[in-house]
Homo-oligomer: A and B are copies of this chain.
Amino acid sequence: MDFEQADAINQAIRLLSLRHRARAAALLAPLGLHTGQEALLLELARTGPAIQSQLSEALGCEPPSVTLMTRKLEAGGHIRRSPAPSDKRASVVELTDSGKALADQVKQLWCALAEETVTGLPAETVAELPGILRTLTGNVDTRRSRRPQGDGSVVQRGSAGRIGL
């Protein structure tokens, strides 16, 4: 691949990261949330109570990040942390009522953001976009032990990447 093309791809990904994150931050700010916290709330809303290592895996960030996120969301009253009964090391994280309400707001906001993001793209492109993005992600994912994952075809929907849950 020539440099022009390579740079177009890498640069586009870099810029998309910056802008999408900035836009998300702007939308989440009125709810008192910072970027990243919404992912934790949505994950808890999706799967129910979980321990932090599970959240770390689901969110794709490291345990120390989860520690900080949970601490701040707990301080905001949106989640509750309790020691796991069967494992004294682990702490179970779950949404409070306030957190559930907030998660619902985030869901609406998330739909608006996604719609805004894909504006102007043909429907078929939008349909295969998640698969494409997941393939790209899988190709550069160093966490999941360098497993290539991409077989060429568009990746299936759903939680394709979940392994150890």
Q: Which positions in A face B, CB cutoff 8 Å?
A: 1-3, 5-24, 26, 39, 42, 60-61, 107, 110-111, 113-122, 125-126, 129-130, 132-137, 139-143, 148, 150-152, 157
Docked-complex contact A125 and B120, CB < 8 angstroms: no
A15 to B16, CA, bound (A): 12
A130 to B2, CA, bound (A): 14
Docked-complex contact B121 and A135, CB < 8 angstroms: yes
A39 to B130, CA, bound (A): 26
A135 to B16, CA, bound (A): 9
A111 to B3, CA, bound (A): 6
Q: Known: A117-B13, A132-B121, A148-B119. Contact between A137 and B20, CB under 8 A? A: yes
Which residues of B lie under 8 Å from residue A14 when comparing CB positions?
A: 20-21, 39, 60
Docked-complex contact A9 and B118, CB < 8 angstroms: yes
Interchain Cβ contacts under 8 Å between A and B, 19 examples:
A2-B111, A5-B114, A7-B107, A9-B118, A10-B113, A12-B129, A13-B20, A14-B21, A15-B134, A16-B136, A17-B21, A19-B137, A19-B142, A118-B139, A120-B139, A120-B151, A121-B132, A121-B150, A129-B132
Assembly stoichiometry (copies): 2
Docked-complex contact A137 and B12, CB < 8 angstroms: yes
Q: A6-B114, A7-B107, A118-B139 are in contact. List 7 more A-B contacts (CB 8 A).
A: A3-B110, A9-B126, A19-B137, A19-B140, A19-B142, A117-B140, A120-B148
